[in-house]
Amino acid sequence: MILLLCIQPAFGNGTARGRMEAFSNSLKSVSANFSQSVTDANGHRGDESRGTLALEAPRQFRWETTAPYQQTIVADGARVWVYEPDLEQVSVRSQSAAEAHSPLTVLTDLSQLDHQFGTSEAGEHDGLAWLRLVSKAKEPEFEYAELGLDHASLQRMVFKDQLGNTTEIRFADWKRNPPMPIGTFTFTPPKGVDVVGDVMPDAEVFPVKE
């Protein structure tokens, strides 16, 4: 039986950065449940989506939305696959270095935190200590991200993109270094679906036009 994540009370440092470092210490893989909502620049909030995520060092992840629609995103270290069953379509692109500029990827490789982001303490609210991240990428996908941590784990993540949209993700049921089932970070397009994107061996695809 896999025990839920439980950090020993070594949190003498109550800063968000200290909590982040304790959460990520010796973390090679991790899984959790999530809920996500997006609020546009006018303050209109969309429907909440829910699902599961799994990460494994150095750059593999699986993000699976289960409700209110289905979507699977798999990064295998070389390419990122996005499968949308309702559209019967798979898109695939190279997992470039820019793809690594996601706050989630540093959970299993904390050494990349200062390399990829500028960080600052963003205070405490909602019972959490917040760490603000600003990407050092030349063309960042978001204006900033804030990570909200309690004394045990990452609880919330908030992104503001360049268009003023705000994405909030809430996490639950973290599992630390769980054994990942074989195939978690691989993806094979189902038969009969359209595959759009980078040409792959053994896959009939239609390259995206610039």
Which residues, other chains included, contact 139 with Cβ-Cβ below 8 Å and sequence gap of 6+?
A: 98
Domain that holds residue 134: 16-176
Domain count within the chain = 1
51 in a structural domain = yes
pLDDT digits (tens, 9 = 90+) for 52-85: 999 998 889 999 999 999 999 999 988 999 999 9
Query: In 10 A of CB 47, how many CB atoms?
Result: 10
9 in a structural domain = no
142 in a structural domain = yes
171 in a structural domain = yes
184 in a structural domain = no
| First-last CA distance in the chain | 48
Can you give 116-173 as a three-state secondary structure string?
A: HEEEEEEEEECCEEEEEEEECCCCCCEEEEEEEECCCCEEEEEEEECCCCEEEEEEEE
pLDDT digits (tens, 9 = 90+) for 141-173: 889 999 999 999 999 999 999 899 999 999 999
196 in a structural domain = no
49 in a structural domain = yes
Q: What is the pTM of this model?
A: 0.82
